[in-house]
Amino acid sequence: MKIRYFDHAATTCVREEVLNEMLPFLKEKCGNPSSLYSLGREAKRAIEEARKKVALLINCEPNEIYFTGGGSESDNMAIKGIAYANSNKGKHIITSKIEHPAVLHTCKKLERQGFRVTYLNVNKDGIIDLEELRRAIRNDTILISIMTVNNEIGTIEPIYEISRIAKMYNITLHSDSVQGVGHIPIDVKKMGIDMLSLSGHKLCAPKGIGALYIKNGIKIEKLIDGGHQERDKRAGTENVPGMVGLGKACEIARIELDRSMKYLKDLRDYYIDEIEKKIPNAIFNGSRNLRVAGNANFSFKGIDAQNLLLKLDEKGICASSGSACSSGDSSPSHVLKAIGLSDDMAKVALRISFGEENTKEDVDYLIENIIKAIRELS
Ligand SMILES: *Cc1c(COP(=O)(O)O)cnc(C)c1O
């Protein structure tokens, strides 16, 4: 059976051009970037080229990019890094209730270590309240961490306004932009972001590679001790193929972003229109306007999401009930609860995240099978 994949917010396949760029570094060009002979120097050159491409996509300097083992590590590195480096100045952190577990669980751990964390509410669209942010700031606030784009409902947070507030009070701003980079235009200088997390596998590079942007001048305590790699901020022999792949994926994203956003938005809007026309009691989750191009999230009253996903799986359709991170865990999504859904409505959500290889015919097939499955399950 043909697999139709509508879960690009969970992960993506590696693009052919990305794989081709990586292959030599998995095979003959296997030198350690720290080695002095030419094979090592070649690997070193390749990772510096990749660093430039990542930097270009988000408009920072190459020496502000630190490669990591993925989005979760970048979030940990940013938040713990700032917390441990500044605990003599203050121990208060502000974040939101709808962050990814990589941010939320990191903050929970810091709370157990004596830090204080404020978790901002969001409105029914999933957007934080700037006034509440302003009120939450204290003399000892050392970090604001607000995601760029939410992974479940696709809401885009007002980062420009958030950074203006952070600057006013001289507080470091981190943004988990794993769902943002490669999906919406990101310019860390214009947006006033001090630290930003991104991950390879959400933009057609491999899993297990990511990056953290750290604005020059910002000091963090490093998490992984060892050698002097990544300018002494993250020890360990470099994942050269991963870095090369991430660089290529960022280069492609930069060139194709406008076209890709339009393509995905058209698919998404078509899907949303059809669902609302054909399934009258479908409840739309998230913001209609401030939304990433590829995401659509509906709750289908009375239809258990796990059963719906199994029915769709029988038809070769991959979709999600929220986030892959909470699958196998039947507790309702913290994001959907934060936007005001009851436990019942949070358990019946279906997240569709479109990608480049999806066609309009695929979307028709998807809609047809959602309708069929709902009929069978009700
Ligand atoms: C996927 C994701 C992460 C985690 O990235 P990994 O590379 O899987 O560790 C963090 N934040 C958001 C918003 C994500 O969607």
CATH number of the structural domain spanning residue 326: 3.90.1150.10
Instruction: Judge whether residue 214 has pLDDT over 70.
Output: yes
Atom 8 in ligand 1: which residue has the minimum CA distance?
71
Shared domain check, 244 and 150: yes
pTM value surpassing 0.95: yes
Distance CA 345, CA 329 (A): 16
Shared domain check, 194 and 91: yes
CATH number of the structural domain spanning residue 73: 3.40.640.10
104, containing H or E segment: helix 101-112
Please tell me if the CB atom of residue 70 comes closer than 6 angstroms to any atom of ligand 1.
yes
What pLDDT digit, counting tens, does each position of 179-213 carry? Answer: 999 999 999 999 999 999 999 999 999 999 999 99
Please tell me if the CB atom of residue 147 comes closer than 6 angstroms to any atom of ligand 1.
yes
What is the pLDDT, as a whole number, of residue 141? 98
Per the CB < 8 A criterion, the answer to whether 164 and 134 are in contact is: no
Per the CB < 8 A criterion, the answer to whether 66 and 234 are in contact is: yes
Shared domain check, 371 and 241: no
Residue 96, helix vs strand vs coil: strand
The rounded percent of the chain whose pLDDT value lies above 70 is: 98
Shared domain check, 273 and 247: no
Shared domain check, 193 and 266: no
What pLDDT digit, counting tens, does each position of 92-116 carry? Answer: 999 999 999 999 999 999 999 999 9
The values of phi and psi at residue 107, to 5°, are -65, -40
Atom of ligand 1 nearest to the CA of 75: 10
- Residues carrying an active site annotation: 325
Shared domain check, 21 and 123: yes
Question: Residue 324 Cα, ligand 1 centroid: separation in angstroms?
Answer: 10
The torsion of the CA quartet 94, 97, 101, 105, rounded to 10 degrees, works out to: 50
Question: Residue 177 Cα, ligand 1 centroid: separation in angstroms?
Answer: 9
Query: Per-residue pLDDT averaged across 260-274, rounded?
Result: 98
Please tell me if the CB atom of residue 103 comes closer than 6 angstroms to any atom of ligand 1.
no
Atom 6 in ligand 1: which residue has the minimum CA distance?
71
| Domain region containing 56 | 16-253
Among 193, 224, 253, residue at a domain's last position: 253
Atom 15 in ligand 1: which residue has the minimum CA distance?
151
What is the pLDDT, as a whole number, of residue 147? 98
Shared domain check, 220 and 269: no
256 Cβ partners below 8 Å, 6+ apart? Answer: none
Query: Per-residue pLDDT averaged across 54-68, rounded?
Result: 98
Shared domain check, 173 and 85: yes
Please tell me if the CB atom of residue 351 comes closer than 6 angstroms to any atom of ligand 1.
no
Atom of ligand 1 nearest to the CA of 208: 7
Instruction: Judge whether residue 324 has pLDDT over 50.
Output: no
Instruction: Judge whether residue 325 has pLDDT over 60.
Output: no
> Ligand 1: which of 147, 151, 197, 212 to mutate, most ligand atoms within 8 Å of CB?
151
> 359 exposed, middle or buried (CB, 10 Å; 0-12, 13-18, 19+)?
exposed
Query: Per-residue pLDDT averaged across 34-47, rounded?
Result: 98
Distance CA 320, CA 151 (A): 11
Atom of ligand 1 nearest to the CA of 323: 15
Please tell me if the CB atom of residue 102 comes closer than 6 angstroms to any atom of ligand 1.
yes
What pLDDT digit, counting tens, does each position of 117-165 carry? Answer: 999 999 999 999 999 999 999 999 999 999 999 999 999 999 999 999 9
Atom of ligand 1 nearest to the CA of 72: 9
What is the pLDDT, as a whole number, of residue 331? 84
Please tell me if the CB atom of residue 179 comes closer than 6 angstroms to any atom of ligand 1.
yes
Please tell me if the CB atom of residue 322 comes closer than 6 angstroms to any atom of ligand 1.
no
Among 231, 253, 275, residue at a domain's last position: 253
> Ligand 1: which of 72, 147, 335 to mutate, most ligand atoms within 8 Å of CB?
72
Please tell me if the CB atom of residue 53 comes closer than 6 angstroms to any atom of ligand 1.
no
What pLDDT digit, counting tens, does each position of 72-85 carry? Answer: 999 999 999 999 99
Nearest CA to 146 among 185, 117, 168?
117
Structure tokens at 119: 């978790």
Q: How many structural domains are present in the chain?
A: 2
Please tell me if the CB atom of residue 196 comes closer than 6 angstroms to any atom of ligand 1.
no
What is the pLDDT, as a whole number, of residue 250? 98
Mean of per-residue pLDDT scores for the chain: 96
Shared domain check, 183 and 66: yes
Shared domain check, 64 and 22: yes
Atom of ligand 1 nearest to the CA of 150: 13
What is the pLDDT, as a whole number, of residue 329? 62
Question: Residue 79 Cα, ligand 1 centroid: separation in angstroms?
Answer: 14
Please tell me if the CB atom of residue 175 comes closer than 6 angstroms to any atom of ligand 1.
no
Among 211, 235, 253, residue at a domain's last position: 253
What pLDDT digit, counting tens, does each position of 348-378 carry? Answer: 999 999 999 999 999 999 999 999 999 999 9
Question: Residue 71 Cα, ligand 1 centroid: separation in angstroms?
Answer: 5
Instruction: Judge whether residue 287 has pLDDT over 60.
Output: yes
Shared domain check, 249 and 353: no
A 10 A CB-CB count for 337 gives 16
Shared domain check, 206 and 340: no
